[in-house]
Amino acid sequence: MFGQLRFYFAIFFARCTALVLKLIGRKGTSMPGSWAIILCPDFLERIPKPKTILGITGTNGKTTVSNIIEDVLEDLGYSFVCNREGTNVHTGVASSLIAESRFWGKPKRDLAIFELDERSSPRILPYIKPDMLLVTNIFRDSYKRNAHTEFILDILNEYIPDTTRLILNGDDLLCSSVKPHNERVLFGIPRRDGETAERKNIVMDITACPVCGKELSWEFIRYHHIGRAYCEGCGFTSPELDYTVENIDEERKEITVKSAEKEYVYPLLNSSLINIYNSLSAITFLREFGISEDEIAEKMAALSINETRYNETEANGKKIILHLAKGQNPVACSRSFENVRNYPGKKAVILLLDDYLDAKKSVENIAWYYDTDFEFLNSPDISRIVTAGARHWDVYVRLLMAGVPEERIVHIKNENNAAKMLDIDDVESVFVLYDVYTVELADVIKDEIITRISGEKTDEN
């Protein structure tokens, strides 16, 4: 009885908070949910939930994948609750549920789609029991927040309900091992031309057979621990895949996905492999939710990968590319470094890798730089690297250790001067690699570069 009264008080208070926030013009904050949980710690358990709940989690790609899934379903006329405008932790989920419910918490919609922070699952999954949960991948992430992949796996195994149907990355042995007794559907990209068993990255989060402990052998390694493995000791292998990418046609901008012996062509949103994984996981998820191939293909054709994560602009024949790199996340950074290296033509790079909190209080260690493949930036067609931010000396040392010639590196503390330090005359493209917390800064830098490129004369310098 007391618990239920406390719940009513919490939701009432949260609504007042939301009203005040609305009046002062603040959007997408998790504050109402935070208050609700402070006042009623079992708030998420008590609030009535929509009938069907879909979840998306994993180390990398969950925001992009959630956005694709939500856009397609919205275009198809589905009405649902989601936490797109808020945060992916428990308070964000609570805020979304409060916002999309009647006064005392009865849900206004039958469907909910939540992007879920994997680290926060103990505070979410026991109460928000997803009917279907997509895990994009499991990689090493920020040491401070995520500790280790085995720690994250333990959390997921403990808190994912037994009844949840899983959509998993079958090319990732950590991801595909989640909750082994749950019903599951696996997606993957079979070996592509040129892929070998050679290891190219510093970080490899699984090297030993999960059954007998012998060192794994690899059919191919795509990047980090993504690929297909087998064990010569006990016969363990990577799992069979249910959805596979059979063909990637970059010219026609199409991918062919095969499932149940049938092939179907979908639009290719972005040709980097991480984004092909993102599209494939969204397609698998939507198919398993019951959406037809035709509907998915038609609605996906109208989408683009979220522009705050990857954005290409052109000025005077030169490309300016904003690419999210994610500070403290060695895999996301290594992937973006490899994309820069593989991008055709001569290029310059601006690195804004400082974590927002790092820059503010200098709290975390720099070990993650040594998990990150800065070696990819040691490429003859990358003629200039400007690294800016509180940790510029550390990045400078790391770049030197990666073999980047000293004369190609500029390092400065003030990020606002980064664009000025670029030689843009002899490059065809400029990459700005930034952290989730430096989106606005990256935009400002982009505009400065465009101004410089499109008319050096009008520049006061």
Closest to Zn ion by CB, 53 vs 231, is: 231
Tell the smallest beta-carbon distance from residue 207 to Zn ion (Å): 12
Q: Which stretch binds Zn ion (CB under 5 A): 81-89, 166-174, 213-221, 391-399?
A: 213-221
Handedness of CA 404, 408, 413, 415 (dihedral sign): negative
Using CB under 5 A as the binding rule, whether residue 126 contacts Zn ion is answered as no
Pairing of strands 310-315, 318-324: antiparallel
Residue 338 neighbours by CB under 8 Å, 6+ apart: 223, 373, 376
> How far, in Å, CA of 412 to CA of 414, rounded?
6
Closest to Zn ion by CB, 28 vs 239, is: 239
Tell the smallest beta-carbon distance from residue 233 to Zn ion (Å): 4
* In 217-360, beta strands by DSSP E: 217-223, 226-230, 243-249, 254-259, 262-267, 310-315, 318-324, 347-352
> How far, in Å, CA of 8 to CA of 28, rounded?
23
Q: Which stretch binds Zn ion (CB under 5 A): 209-217, 252-260, 316-324, 354-362?
A: 209-217
CA 378 to the chain's CA centroid: 25
Tell the smallest beta-carbon distance from residue 229 to Zn ion (Å): 10
Closest to Zn ion by CB, 19 vs 212, is: 212
User: Whose CA is closest to 147, among 125, 173, 119?
Assistant: 119
Pairing of strands 111-115, 52-57: parallel
User: Whose CA is closest to 442, among 451, 433, 454?
Assistant: 433
Using CB under 5 A as the binding rule, whether residue 236 contacts Zn ion is answered as yes
DSSP readout, 137-149? ------HHHH--H
Using CB under 5 A as the binding rule, whether residue 128 contacts Zn ion is answered as no
Q: Which stretch binds Zn ion (CB under 5 A): 16-24, 205-213, 413-421, 429-437?
A: 205-213
Find the DSSP H helices in 147-206.
Answer: 149-159, 173-176
Q: Which stretch binds Zn ion (CB under 5 A): 30-38, 203-211, 247-255, 441-449?
A: 203-211
Using CB under 5 A as the binding rule, whether residue 211 contacts Zn ion is answered as yes
Closest to Zn ion by CB, 126 vs 233, is: 233
Q: Which stretch binds Zn ion (CB under 5 A): 63-71, 121-129, 235-243, 440-448?
A: 235-243
User: Whose CA is closest to 49, among 91, 121, 106, 96?
Assistant: 106
In single-letter form, the type of residue at position 236 comes to F
When binding is defined by CB under 5 A, the residue of 38, 234, 363, 401 that contacts Zn ion is 234
Q: What region, left, alpha or beta, does residue 395 occupy, with left being phi > 0 and alpha being psi -120 to 50 degrees?
A: alpha
Using CB under 5 A as the binding rule, whether residue 363 contacts Zn ion is answered as no
* In 325-362, beta strands by DSSP E: 347-352
Tell the smallest beta-carbon distance from residue 248 to Zn ion (Å): 32
Using CB under 5 A as the binding rule, whether residue 212 contacts Zn ion is answered as yes
Pairing of strands 254-259, 382-388: unpaired
Closest to Zn ion by CB, 26 vs 214, is: 214
Tell the smallest beta-carbon distance from residue 232 to Zn ion (Å): 8
Q: Which stretch binds Zn ion (CB under 5 A): 20-28, 43-51, 54-62, 226-234?
A: 226-234
Closest to Zn ion by CB, 225 vs 323, is: 225
Tell the smallest beta-carbon distance from residue 225 to Zn ion (Å): 16
Length of the chain (residues):
461
> How far, in Å, CA of 180 to CA of 449, rounded?
50
User: Whose CA is closest to 283, among 419, 184, 187?
Assistant: 187
Tell the smallest beta-carbon distance from residue 172 to Zn ion (Å): 18
When binding is defined by CB under 5 A, the residue of 231, 331, 333, 377 that contacts Zn ion is 231
When binding is defined by CB under 5 A, the residue of 126, 190, 233, 239 that contacts Zn ion is 233
Q: Which stretch binds Zn ion (CB under 5 A): 6-14, 186-194, 211-219, 276-284?
A: 211-219
Closest to Zn ion by CB, 192 vs 214, is: 214
Tell the smallest beta-carbon distance from residue 214 to Zn ion (Å): 5
Binding site for Zn ion (CB under 5 A): 209, 211-212, 214, 231, 233-234, 236
